Amino acid sequence: MRKFVINNKVLISYGTRPELIKLSPLIRELDKRGIVYKTVFTGQHKQLYEDVKELVPEPDYCLSIMRDDQTPVDIVANIALKFAQILRVEKPDLLIVQGDTSTVAASALIAFYEKIPIGHVEAGLRTYNLTSPFPEEGNRQIVSRLARFNWAPTELSAQQLRNEKVENVYVTGNTVIDACMNYKYKIKYTNKVLITLHRRENFGKKMEKIVKEINWLAEKHPGLNFIFPMHPNPNVQKIKHLVSNINIVKPMGYPEMMRLLSEVKFVISDSGGIQEECAAFRKKVLVCRDTTERPEGINVGLAKLVGTDIVENFNWANNNPHWEGKNPYGNGDASSKIIDSFF
């Protein structure tokens, strides 16, 4: 017996590049099954959206909330009324959100107020530290309490939700693995090292220290090509003058980034999603954070939590870059499992 029936349509809300990437295989699966849906792009990361917009159909609604130096409060306030109006017009049977951004939290909260069931892709990630990452840890905990469907990417994520007495938990794998498997790039280990830095908790002194340590490594290892697609956030751009011996490039489109990831020797990053993408392409990653909601990668020897201590942990990735473990984030059928849970 089905526990849930889609009579009308699904609504999908996203606002940032990672959300769009991780929702794109789910949207393709909805198309494949003939399920009616509409999409809302809030515009939280409008500039970065341009690099990946070809992965999904043109959104049905664009809220264009992006403002210079906006705060999480600004994002939630600017989404609230516009999104409520969309829900009242569309009357979807289900709202789908992904991850832990302020777009996700605001969309889910408004849907809850409008009595629209919520499905949460990548549910159950936790650090249990509300300040790290901020505001993401708070956002995802809020959505877990509101969601009708909690689609956990791993058994660990699912168990954390069960421990919190959250119901309707489904282990699906991570949809980013579905996305990566669309690219049949040959895995190589060249002299390239990929750097990505953008996380709010690293702004300021921490990011300065990370960059200075990478500068030192680039000087000591001239045979390595350190490539840094620099995030457009002003808090990242302000460290540009500190960068030396590092190849700064513009943000890349997703296929281009995945091709680069397939070729690099290893990765230095504070990104969450790239830890999962590294698993798909079997690349080790130095995680520039103090906490992580993805301990699965650490447990299988794929990732290492290093904070700002890049030099101290460099040899772990550089001397033995090949990783041959089992991907802890699934085998590429997460989107199918998600839809099977409600349709």
Q: Is 241 a catalytic residue?
A: no
Q: Which residues contact 234 (CB under 8 A, 6 or more apart)?
A: 68, 69
Catalytic residue among 19, 51, 90, 100: 100
Catalytic residue among 200, 221, 259, 282: 200
The answer to whether residues 336 and 238 touch, using CB atoms and an 8 Å cutoff, is: no
Catalytic residue among 148, 199, 231, 289: 231
Catalytic residue among 45, 120, 126, 198: 198
Q: Is 200 a catalytic residue?
A: yes
Catalytic residue among 19, 51, 90, 136: 136
Q: Is 282 a catalytic residue?
A: no
Where does residue 264 rank: exposed (0-12), middle (13-18), buried (19+ CB within 10 A)? Answer: buried
Catalytic residue among 19, 51, 90, 122: 122
Q: Which residues contact 107 (CB under 8 A, 6 or more apart)?
A: 13, 40, 42, 79, 83, 95, 97
Q: Which residues contact 282 (CB under 8 A, 6 or more apart)?
A: 187, 322, 323, 324
Q: Is 277 a catalytic residue?
A: no
- Residues 291 and 284: their CA atoms lie apart, in Å, by 17
The answer to whether residues 258 and 242 touch, using CB atoms and an 8 Å cutoff, is: no
What burial letters (b/e) apply to 206-245, b meaning 16+ CB within 10 Å? bbebbbbbbbebbeeeeebbbbbbbbebebbeebeeebee
Q: DSSP assignment of 119-162, as one string?
A: EEETTT---S-TTTTTTHHHHHHHHHHH-SEEEESSHHHHHHHH
Residues belonging to the active site: 100, 122, 136, 198, 200, 231
